[in-house]
Structure 1
Amino acid sequence: MYDINPILQDDYQNLLQKLEEQGLQPDRIILYRDIESSAETNEDLNAHLEQGIYSMFYLSQALIKQKIKTKIRLLFAFVNNKEDIIPEYSAISGFSKTIRMENPAFLIRTVEIQKAERFLKEGDISNARLLLNELDIVDSEVEVRYEGNIRLVKGIKELSIL
C-alpha cells in the first residue's frame, strides 16, 4: 500500500517509477475517496475536485507516460451516505468513458457505495472484498452503485407509449 498526496501530480509518476524499479507493474488500482457528500463551499468543492477528477487525471497521465502494455483495471470508489448525486464525482464517469475510448487498455469504473457507514473503516474488511471482487468483474459498465451487497448498473429500458 502506498500513500500519495492526491494534489501532487509528481507523486503519481514517482510511485509508478518506484514500482517499475522493483519490477512491478500495476494492473489493478483502487482509488478510494472518503468524502461522503457533495461540496457546500468553494473550499469543499476544490478539495473534492483535487481528490476526484484531478487525481484520476494525474494517475491516468502517469500510467500513459509509463507506456504500460497490459490492461489496467482502475476503480474510483466513493461513499455516498446521503443518496444525493455528488456532481464532482459524476464527472469522473465521463472522464472514464473518454479514457476508455482513447486507450482501450484502461478499464476504468466508478463505484458508488450507498449508505456505507462502516465502509473501509478499521477492522471492517467485507467492503474491501466488495471492491476487490469488483476488479474481477469483466463487463463494459463504467458506473456501478452498491446498495448493501446489491450491484446496480445503469441501463436503458424500452417503454411503449399507449
Structure 2
Amino acid sequence: MDNNRTKREIIQLVESRRITSEEGFQRLKELRRKQADVQTAGKRERLFFSPVWQESIPGSIEKSASIAGNVLIFADNKASIAGISEKLKGDSGGSNIRIVSVFAGEKYEKRDTDTFAINPKSRDDYRSLFTTLRKDRGVPGHILHLRSKDPFESDESLIKKQMGISFFSVFHLCQELLEQKIQGTIQILYFYSGSTEKRQPLFSALSGFFKALRMENPHVAGRTIALSDWNEIPEIVSDELKILNREDICYRDGKRLTLRLAEFHLETDAPKSMLFKQRGVYLITGGAGGLGLAISEHIVKQV
C-alpha cells in the first residue's frame, strides 16, 4: 500500500468537498493506525529467536598460545583421565602442566600429591579440596568435569542421582571458587553425553547457570560440551582448553558445532508438534507487552 498516495487521495477528497474535513481527519487517523500496525508486526517478527547448532571450525577461533599450570579433573576413574593427561603433557612438553585428579568418595581424602576423593554433594569437601590445593601448588586455572557420561534419563530416581553428580557438584564447586576470591580467569569445561537432536533439560540448566555466573563474576568461565563419542575426548580437551570464547559446544560425527541464536518465524518455522488444545487455557506472563501480545495472537490463530 502506497501511504503517500492514499494520503493525497484523502486530502483531494476533502478539498473537492466530496467528504467533510472531520471525515477526512478520521480516515487519515485510521491510515496512520494501520501503518503503525504493519510496522509493529514487522518488529514483533524479528523478536523471535531460537537456539540452533551451527558448525564452528576450530582453526578460525581465537586461541591461547598454550596450556600451562594446574588442570583439575573430576572423573569416575583413572582410566578416563589417562588419555587426557598424556595428551596435555605431550602438548606442553610435560614440564609446565600438573594434572590433579578428583574422584567420588564418601568423604574428603587426599590419596596422594595429585589425587583426591570428595563427596560430590558435600559443600565442606570442596572447601577442604581447594584449601589444600591453595597451600600446595595453587588453585588450578582449568577444570574439567567428566562425570556425566551416562545419558540423561527422565526417571525421578535417576534424575536425583544425576543432579548430585552434575548440577549440585558444579554449584558447590563454583561457590568455593567465588569464596576463594581467586585472581585471574578459571576455565570450567563440563562434558556430557548428548547430541544436537534433543536438548537435555539438566544440562541446558547448567548452561544457563554458567551464563548467569559469568555475569556475576567474569573470572569464572564455564561451558558445556556435548559428546557423542567419548573416545575423542583427549583431543577435544586439548583444543577446547586453548579456545578463549565461552559458547556451548557439541561434537557430532567429527564436527564441532556451536549453539547460537538464529531468527525464528512462528508461522513458518514452528514445529508441527507445537499444537494448542481447543478451549485450552494458557497463562502468558508479561502478556501486556509486545512479545506477549504476539504469542497470544499466534495461539488464537492456531485454535
> Which has the larger helix fraction?
2
Structure 2 residue ranges without an equivalent (≥5): 1-100, 104-117, 268-303
Distance 2:187 2:252 in 1: 22
**92 and 139 in structure 1: CA distance in 2 versus 1, 3 angstrom threshold:** same
Shift of 1:155: 2.0
Deviates more, 1:132-141 or 1:33-42: 33-42
**43 and 158 in structure 1: CA distance in 2 versus 1, 3 angstrom threshold:** closer
* Among 18, 28, 32, the residue aligned to 2:146: 32
Instruction: Give the secondary-structure state (helix, strand or coil) at the position aligned to 2:129.
Output: helix
The 8 Å contact of residues 195 and 226 in structure 2, kept in 1 or not, is answered as no
Shift of 1:102: 0.2
**42 and 82 in structure 1: CA distance in 2 versus 1, 3 angstrom threshold:** farther
Shift of 1:34: 3.4
Quick one: percent identity of the two aligned structures?
29
Instruction: Give the secondary-structure state (helix, strand or coil) at the position aligned to 2:241.
Output: helix
The reply on whether 1:111 has 2:111 as its aligned counterpart is: no
Cα root mean square deviation, aligned: 2.3
1:133 partner amino acid: D
The 8 Å contact of residues 184 and 219 in structure 2, kept in 1 or not, is answered as yes
Residue pairs, 1:55-66, within 5 angstroms: 55-66=169-180
1:139 maps to which residue? 245
1:135 partner amino acid: L
Instruction: Give the secondary-structure state (helix, strand or coil) at the position aligned to 1:156.
Output: strand
TM-score, normalization by structure 1? 0.84
Residue pairs, 1:76-95, within 5 angstroms: 76-80=190-194, 83-95=197-209
The 8 Å contact of residues 196 and 250 in structure 2, kept in 1 or not, is answered as no
The reply on whether 1:153 has 2:258 as its aligned counterpart is: yes
Distance 2:262 2:195 in 1: 27
Residue pairs, 1:3-18, within 5 angstroms: 3=103, 4-18=118-132
Instruction: Give the secondary-structure state (helix, strand or coil) at the position aligned to 1:136.
Output: coil
**96 and 81 in structure 1: CA distance in 2 versus 1, 3 angstrom threshold:** closer
Aligned length: 153
- Render the CA deviation track for 1:97-143: whole Å, top value 9, x for unaligned: 000000010111001112x2xx2xxxx5x4223123211101131x1
Residue pairs, 1:118-129, within 5 angstroms: 119=230, 126-129=232-235
Shift of 1:66: 1.0
Distance 1:86 1:155 in 2: 16
Shift of 1:82: 9.8
**158 and 85 in structure 1: CA distance in 2 versus 1, 3 angstrom threshold:** closer
TM-score, normalization by structure 2? 0.47
Deviates more, 1:4-13 or 1:62-71: 4-13
Distance 2:196 2:264 in 1: 30
* Among 124, 131, 134, the residue aligned to 1:20: 134
Instruction: Give the secondary-structure state (helix, strand or coil) at the position aligned to 1:154.
Output: strand
The 8 Å contact of residues 38 and 85 in structure 1, kept in 2 or not, is answered as no
- The structure that has the greater radius of gyration is 2
The 8 Å contact of residues 37 and 82 in structure 1, kept in 2 or not, is answered as no
Structure 1 residue ranges without an equivalent (≥5): none
